[in-house]
Amino acid sequence: MTSAAASRIKAGIVGGTGYTGVELLRLLSQHPQVELTAITSRKEDGMPVADMYPNLRGRVDLCFQTPEKAALEDCDVVFFATPHGVAMSQAKTLLERGVRIIDLAADFRLQDTQVFERWYKMPHCCPDILAESVYGLVELNRPKIAGAKVVGNPGCYPTTVLLGLAPLLEGGRKLIDTSHIIADCKSGVSGAGRKAEVSTLFSEAGDNFKAYGVAGHRHHPEISEQLNALAGGPVGLTFVPHLVPMIRGMFSTLYARILPDALDTDFQALFEQRYADEPFVDVMPAGALPETRSVRASNQLRIALHRPGNGDQLIILVIQDNLVKGASGQAVQNMNLMFGLPESTGLTHVAILP
């Protein structure tokens, strides 16, 4: 092994056949500081990765292995691109071997274990590790992530809602009515994962547009926990997710009422200043109309502000690729921070248009 290879970060992926898993493979196989070391699948044990994903031919020469066979404990970092509950069941063993963990599911997102158990219908098996974990929204938690051993990568909807609202709530600002914010969010079908389900069949999700989870969605408590912390008190949120007939992409439209004393605020300047140094948050010119295809396969999240008739309604449009900034790209951004690399390493892909 060359010294360059020896110094590279050894990365493992649990759940390599799913949509976020293969997106991690795409990103990590192009990352100059990463050596892909182990990739798991319980169902495809022994299959070459490139047989399932021909876009990775010549880039990834590993085979899928069961989690039991894969050398996860020899990795520097393991990504869990698995259903909820898998990462927490393996966290202790890996941490004892000095392996850092980035979970793309929800095991390390909610700090309140009672809320976790209510929404995920399972007990939290390692509250001690949870207490030391960090919520992996880089733009809000950069210093803590840099020192973290376990990161809970945010959900896709929460990433758009939190980054769209943070500048309005941080630092005790009293700019909007925090008792009633609306998040009207739409996701492409890949947000539901690769597993077979009737609701994501082509003939169900194609040429169709529907709301779901209106009575309650597990991302609501995740968003609320973070919003309450940002605002230093309870924030009232109405959150309605929708499924739209596209494969990738997320579009969140956020509505907030501006407080009477804040009507003179230059919101465009506030957002531009807040995100001026953020490599992956683009504040578009005032009144711009973002399109999801402008972030397809890239780690960019774009925000555009609107204030119809210059009245008291602030409308914040936020777009991202749910599989990149909403999942695997954000996970790689977290890894870069945890290993002291420049945050954009391996993440500079530009979206494909049209």
Ligand X SMILES: NC(=O)C1=CN([C@@H]2O[C@H](COP(=O)(O)OP(=O)(O)OC[C@H]3O[C@@H](n4cnc5c(N)ncnc54)[C@H](OP(=O)(O)O)[C@@H]3O)[C@@H](O)[C@H]2O)C=CC1
Residue 226 sits in the site that holds ligand X2W (CB under 6 A): no
Provide DSSP, 138-183: HHHHHHHHHT-SEEEPPPHHHHHHHHHHHHHHGGG---B-TT-EEE
Residue 295: both structure tokens together:
């972030």
Q: How far is CA 103 from CA 4, 15, 219, in A?
A: 27, 11, 16
15 or 167: CB nearest ligand X: 15
Distance CA 109, CA 116 (A): 9
Selected catalytic residue, list 63, 125, 126, 156: 156
Residue 240 sits in the site that holds ligand X2W (CB under 6 A): no
Distance CA 114, CA 123 (A): 9
Of positions 33, 50, 63, 83, contacts ligand X by CB under 6 A: 83
Residue 135 sits in the site that holds ligand X (CB under 6 A): no
Residue 326 sits in the site that holds ligand X (CB under 6 A): yes
Residue 156 sits in the site that holds ligand X2W (CB under 6 A): yes
Distance CA 101, CA 339 (A): 12
Of positions 25, 72, 88, 106, contacts ligand X2W by CB under 6 A: 106
Pairing of strands 134-135, 34-39: unpaired
Instruction: Mark residues 205-224: x for contact with ligand X2W by CB under 6 A, - for none.
Output: --------------x-----
Q: How far is CA 93 from CA 49, 108, 127, 350, in A?
A: 26, 16, 15, 38
**Contact of 36 with 25, CB cutoff 8 Å:** yes
Using CB under 6 A, which of the segments 167-175, 185-193, 268-276, 339-347 binds ligand X2W? 185-193
Of positions 187, 252, 299, 328, contacts ligand X2W by CB under 6 A: 187
Q: What one-letter code names the amino acid at 248?
A: R
Cβ atoms within 10 Å of 233's Cβ, excluding its own: 11
Of positions 8, 10, 12, 14, contacts ligand X by CB under 6 A: 14
- Triad 146, 326, 51: Cα angle to 5°: 100
Q: Please indicate whether residue 156 is annotated as part of the active site.
A: yes
Q: Is the dihedral of CA 229, 230, 234, 237 positive or negative?
A: negative
Judged by beta carbon distances under 5 to 8 A according to partner kind, the member of ligand X, ligand X2W, none in contact with residue 133 is none
Using CB under 6 A, which of the segments 42-50, 55-63, 70-78, 266-274 binds ligand X? 42-50
Residues in the chain: 354
Residue 136 sits in the site that holds ligand X (CB under 6 A): no
50-69: which residues touch ligand X (CB under 6 A)? 67
Would you tell me which residues interact with ligand X (CB under 6 A)?
Answer: 14-21, 41-44, 67, 81-84, 86, 104-105, 155-156, 190-191, 193-195, 322-323, 326-327
- Which residues belong to the active site? 156
Binding residues (CB under 6 A) for ligand X2W: these are 105-106, 155-156, 187, 191-192, 219, 241, 243
